[in-house]
Structure 1
Amino acid sequence: MLDSGLPQTEIAAQLNVSVSTLKKQTGSIYRKLGVGSRREALHIAHVHGLIDGIQAAQATQSGQRR
């Protein structure tokens, strides 16, 4: 869902978890990937073929507008 470009509040609501839980879980993912942001995590996902470039670009662009 990180590639959706949605804010954390909306992602948490869709997953039925608190924003705090989402932040803890994404922070854990970022640490394991060795990155510090959603944008960097999406880049890693793209490099490893987990998402295509269009998804990564759209998510990054929508994240910049906030």
Structure 2
Amino acid sequence: MLTHQPSCPTPDSVDRQDAVIVSAHPEQGWSLLSDGTIVFDDTGELLPDGRVVDPHRGLGPLAVAA
């Protein structure tokens, strides 16, 4: 974890995605944030205490059948 001011949000904060990326692995689809949270490209998260946050991406445009 980083020690700087202002400090990064905690893993329990609603703005936890604003924490600094300390290790990015785009080829594997995940990044480690400074608060210990792992965020995945599909918007899912793994919190430091082992809790899982399901993907929460918005719905894209609806496809129109021809």
Greater strand content: 2
* Structure possessing the higher radius of gyration over alpha carbons: 2
TM-score (norm 1): 0.25
Structure with higher RCO (Cα < 8 A, 6+ apart): 1
Say which structure is richer in helix: 1
